[in-house]
Structure 1
Amino acid sequence: MLRLASRAFAFRPASRLPLAAARKLHSVPPRQDKPGSHSRTDSEVEFEYPAEHELPSSKPVSGAGGQYVKPTLPSFTLDGKVGVVTGGARGLGLVIGQGMVYSGADLALVDMNKDEAEKQAKLIVDAFVKENPNAQRIPKVTAHYADVADADSVEKCIAEIIQQHGKIDNLVTSAGFTENFEAVNYPIDRLRKLWAVNVDGTYLFATSVARHLMERKSPGSMVMIGSMSGSIVNVPQPQAPYNASKAGVRHLAASLAVEWAHAGIRVNCLSPGYMLTALTQKILDENPELKQKWVSLIPQGKMGLPQDLMGPVAFLLSDASSYVTGADIRVDGGYTVT
């Protein structure tokens, strides 16, 4: 899927790529109605992940509700837990982190842009206080820098989080991005960067947190943010390397779930469909025909919202899912079952 989210894929014309066609795409051209054409990728769709300064800032979700505003099963709580979210300064990662806080957890937001992470950490706490004026405990939310593809940077970040929070119980790996180019025109250096963030970054954070949990002899739960693209082929945009990377994340979660089951560490994959983040909205406003293509293939007839991931993540991190490990939960409006 194109999950325009935290550190995750924006669209931009790719005319400056050496192997890409020297054209600038402002909208998806109409496709000729030929047999099978609507189920194929379109070489005219080319989008490149933007530079950090071009990514829009996200906002915490308002009106999400306070801590225990409504009665629910006690097993869904994250009280007393410390969670880590990579790619947590924007988009899906930010909203997922906010959902963890509203479920009782303390939170460490990890991102390449630490300034943005610090800003969002404060906004999450402010939102919590505003909606929970009588709360007996204010959650601790911290911001941390990490290059998820660099082992030393990951280890330094994990050590900093443990120093500030005392422990880590839960991990959500939301850092990732995609680009859209024909495979024959995708420069190998960009492919390696994509895999380094999407796959290596997921692996490095998961193994580092697992070592910490094993040293503590403590159970824990991890959610790897995959994508419906790890199970299907998106159309019309070509994105073979991204799809393969998310298939890797999905199977990595299953494999580590088996390997770490003896230690009480659960690992699951959450695979979103097309999610309407602020960044996605901006791009689709400029490419309405692309949005029409996507929505036409979703049985629910609409794109998902970032807050649609709050509940599934809270479930997978909490004791409510204590017998769930190695699973892939798709949040895609039914896209992958048609």
Structure 2
Amino acid sequence: MLPNPSGARLTSVLSARRSHAAFHTSASRRAAGDRMTGTLPSYGPVGVARALDASSATGTNPTLFAKEFSLADRVALVSGGNRGIGLEMALALVEAGTRIVYCLDLPEKPGDEFTKVREYASHLKGTGGEARLEYVSADVTNQNAMWKIGKTIGDREGRMDVCVAAAGILRGDTPCLTYPAKQFEEVIAVNVNGVLYTAQAAGQQMDRFGNGGSIIMIASISGHGANQGHPWVSYNTSKSAVLQMARSMACELGPKRIRVNTISPGYINTSMTGQFLAKRPELVEVWSSHNPLGRIGRPDELRGIVAWLASDSSSFCTGSDILVSGGHHAW
């Protein structure tokens, strides 16, 4: 039998229990509030919530493009940024206001395409940032080197907000039963390991500064199903791996407010695609027939989705794959 406490002691115990209950009720309410709204951006609520809070006598400015889609003062890292989809996305981030985009790629020096785009970006008006593209020669398959690059950027800029892992390679048609080990390992090293090391390089800095962030990995429709008529076992395998990598990382990094998503383009007219089609021009008609729009996509048609995923406007989107394929998947 438990002892019967004295009156004074009973009063003290009850008082302590009330205080404890009040504390936990308050903490529970705060936790419930966080679960209901998440962490609001510095500019506060938006949309209907902002309208309901606003004073009818006070003028206000729209927030959708000025705030929610804006990347003002943010820092980004883009692999494969020397040309193609990577460069297209880097420019889109600059136009959305990113202070600086570090474009990583394998060549020692940037190509003419990058140089011209960097010059163009430096003259943009009204971006809200410094509109800078900076080239960094890097091998995405070198984990230690990638981590060092990420830390160097973090030390220099004091933050890391956006990562786009766009570096990737495609090898020619090779039958799966005789696919050479070296070639398979080469594709996996860039398209899978390189994506992980890129995400790590940026994600470590996002975690370091505690501001959250957005990691965007370039997957492909080839990760959802095989490409009819093309023996691309290494490429298709690598892109499927990226889809699962993003889902796994999204679950692990969600509590740190680091979002991880993928974009799965269809057939896009990049320089890599152009080189392949130059050898087999008949495929232009074939590939175009694989989607309801009846054509191959342009790299600039991915700009809007990367700007959305990088910004506050997609703050409740993680672990998702966005298909941009002209409806290739809808047949």
Q: Same fold per TM (> 0.5)?
A: yes
Structure 1 residue aligned with 2:52: none
- Whether the 8 Å CA contact 1:170–1:220 is kept in 2: the answer is yes
- Contact 2:106-2:138 at 8 Å conserved across structures: yes
**Please, what TM-score do these two structures have when normalized by structure 2?**
0.76
Aligned residue identity for 2:150? I
Structure 1 residue 91: deviation in Å? Answer: 0.6
What is the Cα deviation at residue 261 of structure 1? 0.4
Give the whole-Å Cα distance in 2 for the aligned partners of 1:236 and 1:176: 21
- The code of the aligned residue for 1:171 comes to C
Q: Distance in 2 between matches of 1:122 and 1:247?
A: 33
Counterpart residue number, 2:43: none
Compute the RMSD of aligned alpha carbons: 1.9
Which consecutive unaligned segments of at least 5 residues does structure 2 have? 1-63
Number of residue equivalences: 266
> Contact 1:202–1:249 at 8 Å: present in 2 too?
yes
Structure 1 residues 208 and 255 mapped into 2: Cα distance closer, same or farther (>3 Å)? same
CA distance in structure 1 between the aligned counterparts of 2:129 and 2:77, rounded to whole angstroms: 19
Give the distance between the partners of 1:191 and 1:107, measured in 2 at CA: 31
Query: Is 1:207 matched with 2:185?
Result: no
TM-score, normalisation: structure 1: 0.74
Written as runs of structure 1 = structure 2, the 5 A alignment for 1:1-338 is 72=65, 74-105=67-98, 106-116=100-110, 122-132=115-125, 138-179=130-171, 180-338=173-331
**C-alpha contact 2:297 2:326 (8 A) present in aligned 1:** yes
Over the matched positions of the two proteins, sequence identity in percent amounts to 32
User: Hey, which of these two has a bigger chunk of helix by percent?
Assistant: 2
Task: Name structure 1 gaps, 5 residues minimum.
Answer: 1-70
Whichever residue aligns with residue 285 of structure 2, its letter is Q
What CA distance in whole angstroms lies between the structure 2 residues aligned with 1:126 and 1:88? 15
Question: SS of the counterpart of 2:185?
Answer: helix
Residue 14 (structure 2) aligns with: none
Deviation of residue 222 (structure 1)? 0.7
**Alpha-carbon separation, structure 2, partners of 1:148 and 1:283:** 23
Q: Cα offset for 1:114?
A: 3.4
Shift of 1:143: 1.2
Deviation per residue, 1:244-284 (Å, 9 max, x gap) = 11011011101111110000000000000000123433542
Partner SS state of residue 72, structure 1:
helix
Residue 147 of structure 1 aligns to which amino acid in structure 2?
D
Q: Which has the larger radius of gyration?
A: 2
Q: Do the aligned residues in 1 keep the contact of 2:223 with 2:240 (CA within 8 Å)?
A: yes
Other-structure match for 1:61: none
Q: Secondary structure at the match of 1:223?
A: strand
